[in-house]
């Protein structure tokens, strides 16, 4: 973990060196304090306890060393703070970018709540590790070495050996016990992530919960997750009590032993009262941070586990990888070809079986078929959310797998069937199609999408917030926002995936006029359910269970009397029935 963190820290080698120098200076000042205190006590003892007889320099020196210890510690934190914050920023950004590079399949199978929790804990773990590893563990180890050396030099081998033995025993006990209880910590973290994921999923689907009246069910499920977390936390707390009790026993035993030895030496005249005070001060000064070291080690283990989960996200390899080539169509409509394309969402779920058709440059091709026929999968493949299992898709003669994804996607605009918006303003969501667009360009896109009348009725206009995932808008309004966003992007290739499925008949006719205008001089793929919306397509491809069964113009397909003609007749009867013109169902041919 430390090795993986170094690339994020090396921007400030000077700050790191200065922080370490301040750390050493602060610890040297701290270890000198008990010796100054010893000489002050000896001076008081020798002169009968008169404060006036204590050398003024000792008192001033004691105060100065206290100030230096605190001041250098604060300066160290100030100097190193920038390093830690930059490392946290770089690491979080690296994971964030990597997650956006991963394929759609990863995000469809991943729980967002747990993912955000992993990143949050990982970034907090970086902060903790850098702060406590450098400013608690290393200083404490340095202080142990200095104190052991001072005790050895001034008071003999016995004091130094007891100190070293106590420290080794304390650290060994802390490590072994912490390793034992780490599984309880991880289990508590796992259950905490699961409870958080459950809560976020429920809140994101608030409307669905309300529609089915499942508030009690959701609360019970959340409480069940919290109950499991509570049980894990109890086990975690009991193991922590065991660890703290053992550490306290080691500290108390070693401290008592050394104080008895110091008291005997003072009583025998081999040591002064100042020596007794100095040894006591050294032990307290040593064991206070050492006692804290147990907590720090436990938390560092937790931080390492959290960081490991976050950095493991960087090890996930995307299934869709960038090619080396770029493509710049300069708004010239390209030819798009599907050549014997086969694709499945898993080994047992093949969706497309050798699909082949061409969208000539500047033409509009519609794909129709029953639900599950693979229509939307074609759009996802063209946008390169997935790569075909076999066959290939080309744009302007280039296999999509040869292209960089960002280069391809700047050339393709999509109006999806299910539009999800950011919890921001209408203007922001429309402008997202091209973040550098001017206000006039955004207004033009709004007019083309026939959103201007709707926005004019809103008190806050295009600054109206749309709510979480756009829930404050109707389905038709969200689709018009998606259309405006795609229009603003102004790409040479357009994909309309059921782009008018949520519109009423009046709005649909208005939007279709706008879409026809947009589709001019562009290569357009239209995924459609309502056949009335694609009668003007240059070519219509009929899919059935992942296979192309018919191709042709609207008139040609009607004349052939095949699957398209039957579907057209069925939808026409449904339309007349909905208008009350055909109340009696027609008898099937």
Q: How far apart are CA 458 and CA 187, in angstroms?
A: 50
Strands (E), 318-401: 336-344, 350-359, 364-369, 390-395, 398-399
Contact indicator for 31, 150 with CB cutoff of 8 Å: yes
pLDDT above 90 (res 338):
yes
Give the distance between the most distant pair of CA atoms in the chain: 123
CB-count burial class (<10 Å; 0-12, 13-18, 19+) for 137: middle
Q: How far apart are CA 57 and CA 61, in angstroms?
A: 6
3-state SS of 222-258 is HHHHHHHHHHHHHHHHHHHHHHHHHHHHHHHHHHHHH
What is the model's pLDDT at position 579?
Answer: 64
Q: In the predicted model, what is the mean pLDDT of residues 449-471?
A: 80
Q: What b-and-e string marks burial along 494-529, b requiring 16 or more CB atoms within 10 Å of the CB?
A: bbbbbbbbbbeeebbebbbebbeebbeebbbbbbbb
Q: What are residue 524's DSSP bridge partners?
A: 364, 494
What is the model's pLDDT at position 173?
Answer: 87
What is the model's pLDDT at position 110?
Answer: 67
Task: Write the pLDDT tens digit of every residue in 224-272.
Answer: 888 988 888 888 888 888 888 888 888 888 888 888 888 888 788 788 8
DSSP-based three-state secondary structure for 291? helix
Task: Write the pLDDT tens digit of every residue in 86-109.
Answer: 888 888 888 888 887 777 777 766
Contact indicator for 280, 151 with CB cutoff of 8 Å: no
Superfamily of domain 2-315: ABC transporter type 1, transmembrane domain (1.20.1560.10)
Q: Which of 553, 548, 476, 552 is nearest to 511 (CA)?
A: 476
| Confidence band, pLDDT 50/70/90 cuts, at residue 207 | confident
HSE value, Cβ hemisphere, 13 Å, CA-based, for 248: 6
Q: In the predicted model, what is the mean pLDDT of residues 463-467?
A: 82
Contacts of 316 (CB under 8 A, 6+ apart): 98, 102, 106
Q: In the predicted model, what is the mean pLDDT of residues 530-559?
A: 89
Q: Which of 5, 309, 291 is nearest to 129 (CA)?
A: 5
Task: Write the pLDDT tens digit of every residue in 105-135.
Answer: 777 666 666 677 778 888 888 878 877 777 6
Q: Which CATH number fits domain 320-411+495-505+529-580: 2.40.50.140, 3.40.710.10, 1.20.1560.10, 3.40.50.300?
A: 3.40.50.300
| Confidence band, pLDDT 50/70/90 cuts, at residue 585 | very low
Q: Which residues in the chain are classed under CATH 1.20.1560.10?
A: 2-315
Place of tokens 């204590």: 54
What is the model's pLDDT at position 413?
Answer: 86
Task: Write the pLDDT tens digit of every residue in 138-190.
Answer: 777 787 888 888 888 888 888 888 888 888 888 888 888 877 887 887 788 88
Contact indicator for 91, 126 with CB cutoff of 8 Å: yes
Question: Between β-strands 523-527 and 364-369, what pairing exists: parallel, antiparallel or unpaired?
Answer: parallel
Q: How far apart are CA 402 and CA 310, in angstroms?
A: 30
Contact indicator for 166, 254 with CB cutoff of 8 Å: yes
H/E stretch holding 287 reads helix 273-315
Q: How far apart are CA 167 and CA 485, in angstroms?
A: 65
Task: Write the pLDDT tens digit of every residue in 18-60.
Answer: 888 888 888 888 888 888 878 777 777 765 545 555 677 777 8
Tabulate helix, strand, coil % of the chain (nearest 5).
65, 10, 25
Highest mean predicted confidence (pLDDT) among 176-185, 405-414, 474-483: 405-414
Contacts of 109 (CB under 8 A, 6+ apart): none
pLDDT above 50 (res 589):
no
| Confidence band, pLDDT 50/70/90 cuts, at residue 587 | very low
Contact indicator for 479, 501 with CB cutoff of 8 Å: yes
Contact indicator for 336, 395 with CB cutoff of 8 Å: yes
pLDDT above 50 (res 583):
no
Average pLDDT, the chain: 81
What is the model's pLDDT at position 501?
Answer: 65
Contact indicator for 487, 445 with CB cutoff of 8 Å: yes
pTM of the complete model:
0.63
Enter the tokens of residue 413. Answer: 């605009």
In angstroms, how far is CA 21 from the centroid of its own chain?
35
What is the model's pLDDT at position 510?
Answer: 66
What is the model's pLDDT at position 588?
Answer: 35
What is the model's pLDDT at position 359?
Answer: 92
Q: Which residues in the chain are classed under CATH 3.40.50.300?
A: 320-411+495-505+529-580
pLDDT above 70 (res 217):
yes
Contact indicator for 538, 513 with CB cutoff of 8 Å: no
């Amino acid at each position: 973990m430390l090795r993986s963190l170094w690339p994020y820290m090396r921007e400030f080698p000077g700050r790191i060196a200065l922080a370490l120098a301040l750390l050493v200076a602060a610890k040297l000042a701290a270890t000198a304090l008990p010796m100054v205190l010893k000489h002050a006590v000896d001076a008081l003892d020798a002169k009968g306890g008169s404060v006036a007889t204590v050398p003024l320099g000792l008192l001033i020196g004691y105060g100065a060393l206290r100030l230096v210890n605190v001041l250098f510690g604060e300066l160290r934190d100030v100097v190193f703070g920038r390093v830690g914050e930059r490392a946290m920023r770089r690491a979080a950004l690296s994971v964030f970018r990597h997650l956006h590079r991963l394929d759609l399949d990863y995000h469809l199978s991943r729980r967002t709540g747990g993912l955000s929790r992993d990143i949050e804990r990982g970034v907090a773990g970086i902060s903790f590790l850098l702060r406590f590893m450098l400013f608690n563990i290393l200083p404490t180890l340095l202080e142990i070495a200095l104190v052991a050396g001072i005790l050895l030099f001034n008071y003999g081998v016995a004091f130094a050996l007891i100190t070293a033995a106590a420290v080794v025993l304390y650290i060994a006990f802390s490590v072994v016990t912490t390793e034992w209880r780490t599984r309880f910590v991880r289990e508590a973290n796992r259950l905490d992530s699961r409870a958080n994921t459950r809560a976020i999923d429920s809140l994101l689907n608030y409307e669905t919960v309300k529609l089915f009246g499942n508030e009690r069910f959701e609360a019970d499920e959340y409480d069940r997750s919290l109950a499991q977390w509570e049980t894990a936390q109890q086990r975690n707390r009991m193991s922590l009590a065991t660890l703290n009790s053992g550490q306290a026993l080691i500290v108390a035993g070693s401290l008592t032993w050394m104080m008895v030895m110091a008291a005997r030496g003072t009583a025998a005249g081999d040591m002064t009262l100042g020596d007794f005070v100095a040894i006591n001060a050294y032990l307290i000064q040593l064991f206070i941070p050492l006692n804290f070291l147990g907590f720090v080690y436990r938390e560092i283990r937790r931080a390492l586990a959290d960081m490991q989960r976050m950095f493991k996200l960087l090890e996930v390899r995307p299934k869709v990888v960038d090619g080396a080539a770029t493509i710049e169509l300069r708004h010239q409509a390209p030819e798009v070809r599907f050549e014997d394309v086969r694709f499945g969402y898993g080994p047992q779920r093949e969706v497309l079986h050798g699909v082949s058709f061409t969208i000539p440059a500047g033409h509009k091709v519609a794909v129709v078929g029953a639900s599950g026929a693979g229509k939307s999968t074609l759009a996802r493949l063209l946008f390169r959310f997935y790569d075909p299992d076999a066959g290939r898709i080309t744009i302007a003669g280039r296999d999509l797998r040869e292209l960089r994804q960002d280069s391809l996607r700047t050339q393709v605009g999509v109006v999806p069937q299910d539009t999800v918006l950011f919890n921001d303003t209408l203007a922001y969501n429309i402008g997202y199609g091209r973040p550098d667009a001017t206000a006039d360009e955004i207004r033009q896109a709004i007019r083309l999408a026939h959103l201007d009348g709707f926005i004019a009725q809103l008190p806050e206009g295009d600054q109206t917030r749309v709510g979480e995932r756009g829930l404050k808008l109707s389905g038709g309004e969200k689709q018009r926002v998606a259309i405006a966003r795609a229009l603003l992007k102004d790409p040479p290739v357009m994909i309309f995936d059921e782009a008018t499925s949520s519109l009423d008949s009046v709005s649909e006719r208005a939007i279709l006029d706008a879409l026809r205008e947009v589709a001019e001089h562009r290569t357009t793929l239209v995924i459609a359910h309502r056949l009335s919306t694609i009668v003007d397509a240059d070519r219509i491809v009929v899919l059935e269970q992942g296979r192309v069964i018919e191709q042709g113009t609207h008139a040609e397909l009607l004349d052939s009397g095949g699957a398209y003609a039957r579907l057209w007749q069925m939808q026409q009867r449904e339309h007349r029935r909905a208008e009350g013109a055909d109340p009696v169902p027609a008898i099937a041919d």
